[in-house]
A = this chain, B = another copy of it.
């Protein structure tokens, strides 16, 4: 790497200061999810609030603006220019919202989260409705301030998934929906029936944990640069490239909860552990986007450790961790049970075929709220209608319906689509990867390094230096194309359900 000028070094030091806040905040977040004693919870939110404020202060400071301008005018170092561009984006976005307004919004969301919980408990949407209405209003306002070309919702999509617009999603999602609907119908019509009860048996936590760790090591998660903890919601915490921690949750009689969550989070971690070392300490040392991050977690969860080849090679090994019960479950019964398909009311319980349906209907609602076509008060009815249309099931109450997700109470609009975009990215990347790496052969020998290295070379190493659609195009020589996911799922589920 080129030597830095003294001014460039000052800029990097300034970025390292902000990185120190981020590393501390991520460590505190990990601690809050996995280790903190009950007594420590109360004052933690104040500490996090203060340090986040200091970080934002630096990111939107005049000093930052001066650095950005000076780097753009004087530097010819690529890393410096990319970092300055990233800083400028954050600076511009944050400066567009007046501080006082943002504080009001944060306070509103914090209250809304509590009210959302209460509304769920009482199954009373009307408690939450005024909050949701105001939060949607703020997001309309923010979108106006951020600016957009065609649709107001584009401004929020761009925050989570740069380059993705309503236009893209309105092309991609209907096609995907149609294909998935067909697949789900074929599965439902198939004489083949999965029996998930075969997977449910007491499985001691200590053995589940050993299995999770062994599987993480198998796929190449560097345990010495991370750790596996327990939390209510599985998560990954990227403190820095050499300290990426994971958490999973243990369900006593269903090992799938811990193992597939661990692998999912492990996929996120493989991304973070393999970002280019030259980006460390800068804001470029992060994933390209939410969706690209999700592509990596879904990849290892769905495309690798849910592949028949994986279990053909490893089912006996799995049994060495598992209770006796699995001795009487054949490989094929086990694999079929892992691929049960069922329209569920709850997003987080959904399988790979129905999950995108949950996302796409939420996309409809967010878009409607943002452009004013829908009103918060009408959401319970709209929700149930969409559930009927998309999945053919209708919740009996709002707790299992419109109130099921925390996202909107936290103000997370424009975030849901990334889950399905990640799935599409994963399938498209998989399609190209298979041409360059003998995937099926790799599974036969547990050679995950070859697979992982392809992703490191084509995705991980770039961190945030490439936007997701550029990354995808550079890796696959093609724009976003939902065909690959549909083809993959058709082939996979066709083989399992014999259609």
A interface residue numbers (CB < 8 A to B):
16-17, 19-21, 23-24, 27-28, 31, 35-40, 42-44, 46-47, 50-51, 54, 222-227, 239-240, 242-243, 245, 280-281
Contact = CB atoms under 8 A, between A and B. Distances in A.
Given A27-B28, A28-B27, A225 B16 contact: no
A17 B17 CA distance: 17
A286 to B, nearest CB: 15
Contacts of A239: 40
A277 to B, nearest CB: 11
Provide the main secondary structure of the chain A interface.
helix
Stoichiometry, as copies per complex, reads 2
Contact of A50 (B20, B31, B35): B20
Contacts of A23: 43, 47
22 contacts: A16-B46, A16-B50, A17-B50, A20-B46, A20-B50, A20-B51, A21-B51, A23-B43, A27-B27, A27-B31, A31-B31, A37-B225, A37-B227, A37-B242, A37-B243, A38-B224, A38-B225, A39-B242, A40-B239, A42-B242, A43-B243, A46-B281
A347 B44 CA distance: 38
Contacts of A36: 243
Given A37-B227, A39-B226, A39-B243, 12 more contacts: A17-B50, A19-B47, A20-B46, A24-B47, A24-B51, A27-B27, A35-B35, A39-B224, A39-B225, A40-B225, A40-B242, A43-B243
Contacts of A51: 20-21, 24
Contacts of A222: 39
Contacts of A227: 35, 37
Contacts of A223: 37
Nearest to A222: B39
Contacts of A27: 27-28, 31
Contacts of A243: 36-37, 39-40, 43-44
A43 B225 CA distance: 12
A65 B400 CA distance: 56
A47 B24 CA distance: 7
Contacts of A224: 37-39
A281 B16 CA distance: 27
A221 to B, nearest CB: 11
Nearest to A24: B24
A16 B45 CA distance: 12
Contacts of A54: 17, 54
A280 B222 CA distance: 40
Contacts of A24: 24, 28, 47, 51
A262 B119 CA distance: 45
Nearest to A21: B51
